[in-house]
Each structure stands twice: as C-alpha cells, then as structure tokens.
Amino acid sequence: MIYCITPPCLEVSVSLVLSGAFLIPYLIALVFEGLPLLYLELAIGQRLRMGSIGVWNNISPMLGGVGIASMVVSFLVSMFYNTIIAWVLWYFFNSFQNPLPWSQCPLNANQTGYSSECEKSTSVNYFWYRETLNITEDIEISGSLQWWMVICLATAWCVIYICFIKGIDSMGKAVYVTATFPYLVLTIFLIRALTLPGATDGLVYLFTPDWEILKKPQVWLDAATQIFFSLSVAFGGLIAFSSYNAERNDCERDALVVGITNSATSLYGSIPIFSILGFKARTNFNTCLEQNILTLTNHFDIAERNMTLENYDQWFDYLNVTHPGDIASLPLRVCDLQNFLDQSASGTGLAFIVFTEAVLEMPGSQVWAVLFFVMLFSLGLSSMFGNIEGVLTPLQELKLVPKWLPHEVLTAIVCLVSFLIGLIFTLGSGNYWVEVFNAYVGSVPLLIIAFCEIVGVAYIYGMKTFSEDIYFMTGRRPNIYWKACWMVISPVMLLVVFVAYVALQAGAYPTYPAWNPNYEDFPQTETKEYPKWVFGIIVALIVVPILSIPVVAIYNLIRCGIKKSSANVSGPNPYSNEAFEIETQERNKQSI
Amino acid sequence: MLGRIVFFLCLPSVLAAQLCKPNAAEGFKVRLSIKTALGDKAYEWNRNQRFLFQAAIAFAMSHHLDLEFNVSNILVCDETPRVSFWFVVTSPDDPSRLVGKESVELAVRASRGRINNILLLNDATLEFVGVLPTLAAPVKPATPSWLIVFGVVIGIVGAGIVFLLVSTVVQKKRKENEVAEEEDDDEEAQMKRTAGNEGIYNTSFSESDRNTQM
C-alpha cells in the first residue's frame, strides 16, 4: 500500500474499509499471486542484472515481447497516474486559504442565492466537479483545456523530472523522503482521528465483516488486479530496480519484507481513514437530525432546545401520534447512520470528496488538508518512480536511443511526450478518460504479462535453473511454497481471474457515471454507455500492450526457422569454418 | 358617555387585534433562535425584548421611508414559546391603515444588519419568513492564493532543475579537460625524454590506443 493510499488504490482501502471481509480476497491475492510474482521479479532482475527487456530476451527470445509489453503498460499508466498527482497538487495549492474554498458555495449570477448546481449537491462536490475538473456531461463532449489543470500537470512532471535527472542516484535519495513521510502523516492522522467523535462508529463498521461482499465476483477481481498496483509487479520497474542490487543480496527476504510491509501499511492506513469516515458519517447524521429538528420546531412552534438530538425519537413518536397529517406533509429527511457509513464515492472521489469534507469538520482544517495532500503527493510520487523507471530502462536497452543522447535529455523527452499526451486528461472530459485508463489498462494487460512471466520463468527458463540461481544469490533453494506457487497455483489463479474478468465484462456493455447537472436525479451521477469509438479505444488499450508478446514470439520463430532451414540446405561448407563464426557471434554479444 | 370613552379606549387595541393576526396579508412571521445564537448568554424573551424589537423595526421603517414611525406603529401578536410571532406595521398618519408588505420587506432588508446587531442575532437565527437575506459575496483576493503557492513551488523546482543540469554540464566539461590534459602530458613527457637522447620520437609505434578496438 506504499501506493495503496494513492487515489486509484484508495479504492482498495475503501473496499477494505467498507468491509473487513475484503481482507480475505486481498490476502489470498497477496499470498498466492503478489508475493510469488514479487520474489520472481526481484530474483531474475538481480541475477541477470538487466532491465525487463534484457531479462526476457535472455530467458528466451520468444519471450522478448513481455518486456516491451511491460514498457508500454508502464508508459500508459504513468500518463494517467500523473494526472491524479496533478489533482493532488491542485488541492494542495488550494489548501492554504482560510476558509477552505470547498467549504462554501459560490453565489449565482445575479447574487440572489447560491449556485443551483452547488446547492443540490454539496459544496465539496461542486468544488471537485466544477472548479477543479470543470467536467462535461458526456465523454464525447471534450470541452477545452483547463489552464489551471495544465499548469498543475506541468508542475507534476517537472517534479518527476527533477527526481530522475541524475538517474538512480537522485531518485534513490528522493525515495527516502517519499517512502517515510507518509508513515509520519498516517500516524499523526491516526492520533487525531481516534480522538474525533464518531471514530468508534467507523472502527466498529470496519471490524464487522460483511460476508455478503465475498459473493460478488467483482470484489475478487478487484483484489486480484489491484495487487499489481499495490506491489508494482508486472510493470518492469521492479526488475530494473533489483538489477542494481548486489549479486548476493537476499532477495527472498526483500520480497517478503516488501510484500508484508505493504499489506501492514494498508491495514495501518485503513484505521485513520475509517475513523475519519466514521466521524464524517456521524457528523452528517447529526446535521440531518438537526435539520429535522429545526423543521419540526418551526412548524409546531416548540420552544428552542426542547427537542434535542437525544430526545428526538420520543418527540417524533409523540408528534406522529398527535399530528400525523402534519408530519407526513413536512419535508423530513430519513437519517440513518448506517446509510451514511455505506456512502463512499468511488475511486478518485474518496480522496477528493469524502476526505476533504471530513477535513472541513476538523478544527484547524488547513493544516490537516495540507498534510493529507502532501502525503498523497509523496505516495503518488513513489509509485511514479517505478513506472518511469519501467519506461526509461527498456528504452535504453532496446537501443532505440542514440548513444550521444545524454540521460538527462532522454528523461526530459520522455517527460515532455507524456505531458503532451497527458493533456487529454486536462480537458473537460478528462476525468472520464482517467477512469477509462484506470479500469482497462491496469487490469487485463497486467494479468497477461504476469501470467507470461511466471510461465516463462517456471517452464521455459526452467525451475531447476532458477533454483540454482537463487541458491547462488541467497545460499538456499526456494522452498515448496514458492515452487508450488510458481509452477501451479499462481498461473492457475491468474488464468481463472482472467477468464472470470472477460466473462464478467462481456456480459454487460461498459458504462460510466457521468456528472450531469441537468439530470433529473441530480446529484446522483447518470449512468451512460460508452460510445462505439470509445469502446474501440478501450479494446485498443487492452490489446496494444500485449500485442508485442505474440508478435515478437512469432518473429523469432520465423527467424529461427529460417536460420535452421538455411543451415540444413548448405550442408558442411568447405569454405566456412564454423569455429570463427561462433567466435564472432560471441564477441558481438560481449561488445553489446 | 362612559361607554363612549371605553369604546374609544378599547378601539386601538381592538383595531390592533384585527390588524395583526397570523397569516395577515401585510404581516411577516418572525422566528428567533436565541439559544442557538447565544448559548449560555441567551436572554429571556420578555416584554422588554419585544419592545426592543419593535423599536428596531420602527427605526428600519423610519430610515427607509423617511417618515417618523413610533414603537406603537409596530404591532406584534401570536407569540409562541418557540419565540416566533407575527408583526404588522401601521402608518404613522393613520393607525388603522397598514403599510404595504413590499415596503416593509425593503426596509427590513436595507437595515437587516443593524436589526441583527441590536438583537445580538444573525441572518440565520433571526428569521423573517419570506424575506431572503442579502448574501455576502465570498471574499475574493486580487490574486487567487493558490497561484502564489504554485508560483513558489514551480520556482523552487525550476531552480533545482536548472542547477542540476548546469552542474552536470560543468562536471562533464571538467572531466573532459582533465582527460585531455593527461593525454597531452603523456605525449609531451615522452617527447621530451626522447628528444633528450638526440633523436626524433617516431610516433608510429606509440601506444596511444592500448586496446585494439573491437
């Protein structure tokens, strides 16, 4: 969860947090999918000492496509991920005001009342959808570039660039800060959150598991796919990082430590998050009741403070008996604490809507807002390191880059290109595109890449060779748990998840929630279907990254076939002493 | 005679009772939430406080219409424990005639802040049912503050990038100069040594490239 508090993975926290029962699919995914993959990637990176492209080419030329697929996925993910970081930056910039800008509704055009969009939904929603995103009603309506988002995105890319400018050296130092700071802030939040009223409601909710949630296949799929984001496996970044490790580093211990720390941080982080959600639910519930109290007090002219939160129920029953007609005619809200606890926005909404609303109620809101967004920023930054490394190292290994180009300039070019393409996400419909990328780039391609990786190492590279490598590095061979996972459990599990995902997706045409002020049920989001051309883009996003795997495999098959057939045809050649041929081939390999 | 005196004495209150009634056409309902506004310092709503309210409204009417209104022109009725009541405003020239609702509304809106302050309440706790409060526009500073923070951050980041790039370039140049100097020194030293032996140094066999390139 080093990355798990960041907005896409905040979903995991929320799901975790919506029901302790989510812990079970998450743990199963971690133990049988996440840890084996993590150990595998760390081990081959450390042993073969190359980035993802070199490693897979080395294991087998047929698997060369896996590295390219990882690079493409990393590139696509880094584009939309940095948009989320740009959003975090925008909120961070805006947290230095008193009062916080999302606490009030702006006035409408003729200053007679508040803006209607803001009144129907909340000021927090309004600030997110209108003042931050300026969102359009439909993904087809692109709107224009929002200049404030563009400069926030530019800032985000500049920060990434400055961390990568010196390559692994500068980034290594930056990681110290970005990895430790979130823990500090989480602890501060934990202490603060536990002292808030209503925190106990939230914690009780967390620890009472709702077993119904396990019956939904979507939950299992989410757990399986989010583990990739959480541990950052199948992106190629891990292989690149571990290639810098010492050759005899104990990567088994590293894998276990990273994996378990990740999950522990998830749990640790969910406690303050949940306490704050409980506090928010309790506050909303109290506000709801107080509104009802005011309505009733005004209508029946009861003296002030006679009806309070404590005796509301008795008063209500009494009035219902004596004046049932009146009660029915009054616009009383139904206030249910469980209802408020169940509410949570999905995905990016959690950080930017739910949390910002909670922060408003806490005394000293500016401080908490600033702390929270700096923490999100550093978490997002540490994820981006893995992604960008997963793009830069393969680029250098593919020899697409001329040697005279210095590393700094290459990094600058990559950042610039990503920024320019990422301008799509700063359009009016940008949020819808982020959701598209988030849902589709981060699921199927990663599953397939992970499957190919495990199968490639376990069967093509050979379990024996791999065990020998690990023995060389750590001094002990992998035990039965690792072997069972690599050879059987993980591939089977990945296959099952993939098939289930395809089955689920094929069942229903994909839809998305649109923010439409003219919708009759506003402020609820309107469910719209993706237009055909967006559906085509979705399919492209899924297919293009993994296209390289079969293409490279077939290309190498054909090349091998041609070589073999040409060698057979010529037979022993008196003019060609193969001894020298083999030598030159080896010299070529060494010089590279 | 006595009857007539009693009649005329009772007339104003009777008239008042008739003029001021709940849901009067020209009247307003007022709700006060004193405990919500003041908490422990809440005052008791009694005759004197009502007198203060009437005085405040009289002030507002006089201020707005430029006529002289008296406290007796403001009629209050139907008080409830909620602390809510109806009031109507009679014209100073003719106590049996009511001042129109629109004028009263405008007068109240114009002096709303003053009335609030007199009663130690605010727009939310002193409610004139049907009269919308004039909303204060949220304060907008000249430069949005977020731009300032953005400027600071991008300034630091930009300076950092420039500094790192320049230091890299300077380091590279320094390295190149050092290597070039070392090579030159080697050549010169060798030439000096051989020149001392009264010969000309034949550079064809000099080991400028120790390793043959592949």
Chain A: nearest CA to B32, how far in angstroms?
Answer: 9
* Rg, C-alpha atoms of chain B: 46
A106 in contact with chain B, both atoms CB, cutoff 8 A: yes
Residue A155 pLDDT greater than 90, yes or no: yes
Q: Is residue B163 part of a domain?
A: yes
Tell which of B128, B154, B171 closes a domain.
B128
Query: Using an 8 Å Cβ cutoff, are A184 and A122 in contact?
Result: no
Do B154 and B121 belong together in one domain?
Answer: no
Q: What per-residue confidence (pLDDT) applies to B155?
A: 92
In percent, how much of chain B has pLDDT > 90? 4
> Which residue's structure tokens are 């800008």?
A101
Q: What per-residue confidence (pLDDT) applies to A6?
A: 36
Domain that holds residue B168: 145-200
Q: Which of B15, B110, B176, B157 is nearest to A151 (CA)?
A: B157
Q: What per-residue confidence (pLDDT) applies to A157?
A: 94
Q: Is residue B102 part of a domain?
A: yes
User: Is residue A518 part of an annotated ligand binding site?
Assistant: no
Q: A159-173, A335-349, A401-415 — which is least confidently predicted?
A: A335-349
Higher pLDDT, A502 or B132: A502
Higher pLDDT, B142 or A220: A220
Q: What per-residue confidence (pLDDT) applies to A390?
A: 86
Query: Using an 8 Å Cβ cutoff, are A305 and A40 in contact?
Result: no
- Separation of alpha carbons A447 and A438, rounded Å: 14
A383 in contact with chain B, both atoms CB, cutoff 8 A: no
3-state SS of A490-546?
HHHHHHHHHHHHHHHHHHCCCEEEECCCCCCCCCCCEEEECCHHHHHHHHHHHHHHH
pLDDT confidence bin for A274, thresholds 50/70/90: confident
Q: Which of A444, A458, A473 is nearest to A234 (CA)?
A: A444
As a whole number, the mean pLDDT across chain A is 82
Q: Is residue B1 part of a domain?
A: no
Q: What per-residue confidence (pLDDT) applies to B206?
A: 63
Query: Using an 8 Å Cβ cutoff, are A518 and A528 in contact?
Result: no
B80 in contact with chain A, both atoms CB, cutoff 8 A: yes
Residue A8 pLDDT greater than 70, yes or no: no
Contacts of A92 in chain B (CB under 8 A): 149
Residue B40 burial (CB < 10 Å; 0-12/13-18/19+)?
Answer: exposed
Higher pLDDT, A95 or A333: A95
Nearest residue on chain A to B153, judged by CA atoms?
A155
DSSP A49: -
CB contact under 8 A, B135 and A165: no
Q: What per-residue confidence (pLDDT) applies to A7?
A: 36
Non-local (6+) Cβ contacts of A212 within 8 A are: none
What is the average pLDDT across A240-269? 84
Other beta carbons within 10 angstroms of residue A109's beta carbon come to 6
A173 in contact with chain B, both atoms CB, cutoff 8 A: no
In percent, how much of chain A has pLDDT > 90? 15
Do B106 and B169 belong together in one domain?
Answer: no
Do B119 and B152 belong together in one domain?
Answer: no
Q: What per-residue confidence (pLDDT) applies to A560?
A: 82
Q: A263-272, A358-367, B164-173, B188-197 — which is least confidently predicted?
A: B188-197
- Separation of alpha carbons A246 and A49, rounded Å: 9
Q: What per-residue confidence (pLDDT) applies to A4?
A: 35
Q: Is residue B96 part of a domain?
A: yes
Residue B17 pLDDT greater than 70, yes or no: no
Contacts of B123 in chain A (CB under 8 A): none
Q: Is residue B210 part of a domain?
A: no
Amino acid at A332: L
Q: Which of A291, A298, A304 is nearest to B129 (CA)?
A: A298
Q: What per-residue confidence (pLDDT) applies to A305?
A: 79
- Separation of alpha carbons B197 and B190, rounded Å: 11
B142 in contact with chain A, both atoms CB, cutoff 8 A: no
- Separation of alpha carbons B135 and B123, rounded Å: 9
B130 in contact with chain A, both atoms CB, cutoff 8 A: no
Residue A561 pLDDT greater than 70, yes or no: yes
Residue A184 pLDDT greater than 50, yes or no: yes
Tell which of B128, B162, B180 closes a domain.
B128
Nearest residue on chain B to A91, judged by CA atoms?
B146
DSSP string spanning A326-375? HHHHS-PPP--HHHHHH----THHIIIIIIHHHHHHSSSHHHHHHHHHHH
How many structural domains are present in chain B? 2
Do B113 and B150 belong together in one domain?
Answer: no
Q: Is residue B138 part of a domain?
A: no
Non-local (6+) Cβ contacts of B177 within 8 A are: none
What is the average pLDDT across B8-35? 75
What is the average pLDDT across A502-508? 82
Residue B195 pLDDT greater than 70, yes or no: no
Strands A526-529 and B28-32, how do they pair? unpaired
Query: Is the dihedral angle over the CA atoms A534, A539, A542, A543 positive or is it negative?
Result: negative
Higher pLDDT, A108 or A345: A108
Higher pLDDT, B88 or B6: B88
Residue A218 pLDDT greater than 90, yes or no: no
Higher pLDDT, A466 or A110: A466
Q: What per-residue confidence (pLDDT) applies to A478?
A: 87
Non-local (6+) Cβ contacts of B5 within 8 A are: none
Q: What per-residue confidence (pLDDT) applies to A248?
A: 85
Do B57 and B155 belong together in one domain?
Answer: no
> Which residue's structure tokens are 């439909």?
A138
Q: What per-residue confidence (pLDDT) applies to A35?
A: 92
Residue B1 pLDDT greater than 80, yes or no: no
Q: Provide the ipTM.
A: 0.72
Q: What per-residue confidence (pLDDT) applies to A417?
A: 94
Cis check: omega of the bond before A106, within 30 degrees of 0: no
DSSP string spanning B2-13? HHHHHHHHHHHH
Residue A5 pLDDT greater than 50, yes or no: no
Q: Is residue B137 part of a domain?
A: no
Secondary structure element (H or E) that encloses residue B159, with its range: helix B145-196
Q: What per-residue confidence (pLDDT) applies to A58?
A: 87
User: Is residue A262 part of an annotated ligand binding site?
Assistant: yes
- Separation of alpha carbons A99 and A516, rounded Å: 28
> Which residue's structure tokens are 């803001």?
A118
Chain-centre distance for alpha carbon A413:
25
Do B71 and B174 belong together in one domain?
Answer: no
Higher pLDDT, B197 or A286: A286
Identify which of A93, A298, A304 has the shortest CB distance to residue B150.
A93
Q: A46-60, A160-174, A437-451, A472-486 — which is least confidently predicted?
A: A160-174
Q: What per-residue confidence (pLDDT) applies to A2?
A: 27
What is the average pLDDT across A201-213? 77
Identify which of B82, B135, B161 has the shortest CB distance to residue A162.
B161
| Model-wide pTM > 0.80 | no
Instruction: Summarize pLDDT for A367-417 with one digit per residue, the tens.
Output: 999 998 998 888 888 888 888 888 888 888 887 778 888 888 888 999 999
Higher pLDDT, A24 or A9: A24
User: Is residue A431 part of an annotated ligand binding site?
Assistant: no
Residue A153 pLDDT greater than 90, yes or no: yes
Chain B: nearest CA to A304, how far in angstroms?
Answer: 6
Query: Using an 8 Å Cβ cutoff, are A470 and A478 in contact?
Result: yes
Structure tokens at A275: 């306490």
| Domain ranges (residues) in chain A | 7-95+120-507+520-568
Q: What per-residue confidence (pLDDT) applies to A107?
A: 76
Identify which of B35, B138, B157 has the shortest CB distance to residue A106.
B138
Structure tokens at A378: 């550093």
DSSP A107: B
Q: A113-117, A255-259, A439-443, A463-467 — which is least confidently predicted?
A: A113-117
Q: What per-residue confidence (pLDDT) applies to A568?
A: 55
Residue A592 pLDDT greater than 70, yes or no: no
Indicate the SS3 state at residue B75. strand
Identify which of B138, B149, B158 has the shortest CB distance to residue A93.
B149
Q: Is residue B54 part of a domain?
A: yes
pLDDT confidence bin for A9, thresholds 50/70/90: very low
As a whole number, the mean pLDDT across chain B is 80
Q: Which of A495, A368, A502, A366 is nearest to A440 (CA)?
A: A502
Q: What per-residue confidence (pLDDT) applies to A309?
A: 82
* Region A7-95+120-507+520-568: CATH code: 1.20.1740
Q: What per-residue confidence (pLDDT) applies to A83?
A: 92
Query: Using an 8 Å Cβ cutoff, are A58 and A548 in contact?
Result: no
Chain-centre distance for alpha carbon A249:
29
pLDDT confidence bin for A16, thresholds 50/70/90: very low
Instruction: Summarize pLDDT for B71-126 with one digit per residue, the tens.
Output: 888 888 888 888 888 888 888 888 888 888 888 888 888 888 888 888 888 887 88
